[in-house]
A and B are shown apart, each in its own frame.
Chain A
Amino acid sequence: MAVAIVLVLLIVGSVIFNFLSPWWFTPIASNWGTIDTTLIITFIITGIAFVAISLFMAYSIYRFHHKEGRVAHYEPENNKLEWWLTILTTIGVVAMLAPGLVVWNDYITVPEGADEVEAVGKQWQWSFRFPGEDGKLGTTDIKFVSFDNPFGINPDDPNGQDDILISEPELHLPIDRPVKMLLRSYDVLHDFYVPQFRAKMDLVPGLITYFWFIPTRTGKFDLLCAELCGVGHYTMRGHVVVDEAEDFDEWLSSKPTYAQFLAAATAAPAMTGLATKGQEVAGAQGCLSCHTIDGTSGVGPTWKGLFGKEETLADGTTVRVDEAYLIESVSDPNAKLVEGFAPIMPPYELSDEDMAALIALIKSKSE
C-alpha cells in the first residue's frame, strides 16, 4: 500500500519539480530555437506517457493489492489492446521523430554565404582562424606546425597568407550573420560547446568537422570543451563574444594575419646561444603548448618575468622562483602548485643539459 502512495507522491513530486526547479536551459542566443521546440515536443509526449503509465501502475497496486480472498484474473493476452497500444506508441514516436528529422536537415545544411571560421583545439586550449580578405581559409597540415607557424598553414597556399590568427581563447563573432564553424584538432577529440548556442560538434584529429549557427544576442558566453580530452579537459575553456558588426570589425582588424605573424616571428631579437637551445627544447618537449614566453596567459603560467619572482602557491604560501624551484616544477609539477592553475602538467624527465637550456631561456625572458 505504502508503495502506491509513494509512487503517486514521486510522480506528482517529479512534475512539480519540473515546473518549480530553478534549473532549466540557459536563455538561447542563436537561431536554434527549433531545437528547443523539438525538445519541448519530445518533453510533452514523453511527459504524458510517464505520468499516464506510472499513475496507472500506482492505481493498479492500490486497487489490486493482496487481500484475503482476492483472486487474480486469468488473461494470457489481449491482442486488440496490445495492437492499439502499439499503434498509439508508433504515433507518439512519429510525432517526435518527424520534426526532429526536419530540424536535423537544417542543422547539417549550411546556408549559402555563411562566414567560415575555424576553431582549433589542442590539449587544452582553443585558438581560432578567420579567412581574411579573400574569404577563403588556407589549407593546413599537421606537418607544417612549428613555432613560427602555430596554425600549420600551408605556406604554398595563397589563400592562407591573409588568414587572421587568433591565438587566445576568445572568439568574437558578429551578430545575426550565419557562421560555419570548421573544427580542427591537433591531438585528441575535443568538442566545441557553447550552451547558449545549443549547437555543438566534436573536433576530430585527421578530419575537419563542422556545424553552423547564427548568433542572435550580443554578450559574452562560456565556451567549453565537451569531449573528454585528458586530465585538463575541464580546464579547456574559452569565451565567445557576440558583437555588433562595428565592434567585431574593430576587434578583427587588431589581429595579425598569417603573413604579419610570420614577419614578426622572424624579426624577433636574437637570444644567447643557450637560450636559443632552450627555445628548441621547449618546442620539442611541448612546453610551449601550455606556457608562453610573451606574457600572455596559457594553460600554464607564462614564463615571462618568471625567474626571481615571488610565486604564490595554491596553498597560499609564496616561494621565490630560483633554479631549484624550476627543476622541481618540471620533474614533479604537483609538488608546488601555482595558484589559479590546475594540476595538469605532466612530469618530465629532462637531461641536465636540456634543463640548463630551459633555465637559460626562462632567465632570458625575465630580464
Chain B
Amino acid sequence: MAHVEGQQHPIAIYFKIWGLLFVLSFFSYMVDYLQFEGYLRWFLILLFMFLKAGLIVSVFMHMMWERLAMIYAILLPPLCLLVLIGLMTMEADYTFLTRVLFFAGP
C-alpha cells in the first residue's frame, strides 16, 4: 500500500484552505449566535460540517484516489444514514406531539 505520492502542494494552497475553514467555522458560529431555530439550524450546522469535512478530506489528506474511494465507500453510506436518522428524529417528535395532544397519557 503505497500512499505518499510524490506530488507536492504549494504552500499557498494550505493557507487558502485554512482561510476557507475559518470562514466556514465562522458561519457555524453565526448559526448559534443568530439563534436560528428548528430544522433550519440543524440543516445549516450539518451543511457546514460536511463542507468542512469535505475540504479536509479532499485537500489535506491528498491521498491517492484509491484511498479516497475507500473513504467514500465507507463514508457515503453513513451519510445517507445521517439523513435517515435526522428525518427519523423529526418523525419521532411529530408522533410524540400527536400523542401528547390527543391521547389521555399515562
Contacts from A to B (Cβ < 8 Å):
137, 139-141, 143-144, 154, 156-157, 182, 184, 206-209
Contact = CB atoms under 8 A, between A and B. Distances in A.
B104 A207 contact: no
Contacts of B33: none
Contact of B101 (A141, A143, A156, A208): A208
A129 to B, nearest CB: 12
Contacts of A184: 102
A207 B103 CA distance: 9
A156 B105 CA distance: 12
B99 A206 contact: yes
A365 to B, nearest CB: 32
A108 to B, nearest CB: 12
List of 7 A-B pairs having minimum Cβ-Cβ separation, nearest first: A141-B104, A154-B104, A208-B102, A208-B98, A139-B104, A141-B103, A207-B98
B contact patch SS: helix
Contacts of B99: 206-208
Residue of B95, B99, B103 with most chain A CB atoms under a 10 A cut-off:
B103
B104 A157 contact: yes
Which one of A139, A154, A184 has the highest number of Cβ atoms from chain B below 10 Å of its Cβ? Answer: A139
B104 A140 contact: yes
Contacts of B104: 139-141, 143-144, 154, 156-157
14 contacts: A137-B102, A139-B105, A140-B102, A141-B103, A144-B104, A154-B104, A156-B104, A157-B104, A184-B102, A206-B99, A208-B98, A208-B99, A208-B102, A209-B98
Nearest to B101: A208
Contacts of B101: 208
Nearest to A138: B104
A278 to B, nearest CB: 30
B106 to A, nearest CB: 9
Nearest to A155: B104
Nearest to A142: B103
Contacts of A156: 104
A140 B104 CA distance: 5
Given A140-B104, A206-B99, 13 more contacts: A137-B102, A139-B105, A140-B102, A140-B103, A141-B105, A143-B104, A154-B104, A157-B104, A184-B102, A207-B95, A207-B98, A208-B98, A209-B98
